[in-house]
Structure 1
Amino acid sequence: MDLNTQIKDFIESQPQSKRRDVEILHTEIQKLLSGAKLWFFDGKDENAKIVANPQIGYGTQTMTYADGKQKEFYQIGLSTNTTGISVYIMGLEDKNYLPNVYGNLIGKAKVTGYCIKFKTLKDINKDVLMKAISLGMTGTDSR
């Protein structure tokens, strides 16, 4: 199955209450990060074991593990969970930056060192979210 079909199927599999928000975010992230590499992670490891919720990814970075091995991975991730939507902003060196800068500005969301989690788009300031996503692309290998 090709990448765009996987993403389309993922979005269409969401409950109607989340589907529209995910469609909006996917479209707006693609506009914001025009030309960024697009990914789809089905949430399974190399042994087909479920290790995470499926995610749409944007951009690229090189992750280096403790053992020195490297892996290309996306910089921004968009996922759903039982309570809402999560946007992952990977690779920020300062794990306090997102919560300190955006935590009080974004609205009704839980902001951690690399994740912004919210129930619906109407609960947050979407412009603030897009600024955080844009920041997350700084320092990627390519857009």
Structure 2
Amino acid sequence: MNTKEQIKTYIESQEEPKRADMQMLHQHMLQLLPNSKLWFLDGTDATGKVIANPNIGYGQFMMCHKDGSFKEFYQIGISANTTGISVYIMGLEDKTYLPNNFGATIGKTTVTGYCIKFKSLKDINIDVLDEAIRYGLSKQIELT
């Protein structure tokens, strides 16, 4: 199965109303980042052990690990979780910026240094989410 098919299967596997929200958010991300690389991570490690929720990624950058090694990874990710949906903004140096600058205005969310988690799209201000994503894209650490 190719990446687009994996993404479609993943979204379709979600229960409503999360399925509709994931589909709308995926389409929104494709419009926001029209030429970006698509990723699908199934949440398993090299041995097949489940270590995370599956996620859809958009864009690419080189992520530096603590040991000094590099890995190509997505810039923006979305994932269904047990309570809703998470949007990941990867590669930010300042882990306080998202919560301090978007936490109070984005809606009913939990905002961490790289993750915006919400129950439903109706609970958030999509324009503020877009602003946070654009900020993340402009501030990511590019290590190549």
* TM-score category, normalised to shorter length: over 0.9
Moved more, 125-134 or 83-92: 125-134
Q: Deviations over 1:46-88 (max 9, x none)?
A: 1111110000000111111122111100011100111000001
Larger RCO, structures 1/2 (Cα 8 Å, 6+ apart): 1
1:45-60 paired onto structure 2 within 5 Å: 45-60=45-60
Which residue in 2 is equivalent to 1:7?
A: 7
Tell me which amino acid in the other structure corresponds to 1:38: L
- How many angstroms apart in 1 are the aligned matches of 2:70 and 2:48? 21
Which residue in 2 is equivalent to 1:23?
A: 23
- How many angstroms apart in 1 are the aligned matches of 2:101 and 2:114? 12
Q: Deviations over 1:69-120 (max 9, x none)?
A: 1110001110011100000111111000000000000010000100000000
How many residue pairs align between the two structures? 141
- How many angstroms apart in 1 are the aligned matches of 2:46 and 2:137? 27
Residues 128 and 59 of structure 1, relative CA distance in 2, 3 Å threshold:
same
Residues 116 and 109 of structure 1, relative CA distance in 2, 3 Å threshold:
same
Tell me which amino acid in the other structure corresponds to 1:22: M
**For the Cα contact (< 8 Å) 1:29–1:130, is it kept in 2?**
no
Following superposition, which runs of at least 4 residues in structure 1 exceed 3 angstroms of deviation? none
- How many angstroms apart in 2 are the aligned matches of 1:111 and 1:27? 22
**For the Cα contact (< 8 Å) 2:93–2:141, is it kept in 1?**
no
1:1-143 paired onto structure 2 within 5 Å: 1-138=1-138, 139=140
C-alpha displacement at 1:41, in angstroms?
A: 0.4
Moved more, 50-59 or 64-73: 64-73
Structure 1 unaligned spans of 5+? none
**For the Cα contact (< 8 Å) 1:33–1:134, is it kept in 2?**
no
Structure 2 unaligned spans of 5+? none
% same residue = 60
Over the residues paired in the alignment, what is the CA RMSD in angstroms? 1.1
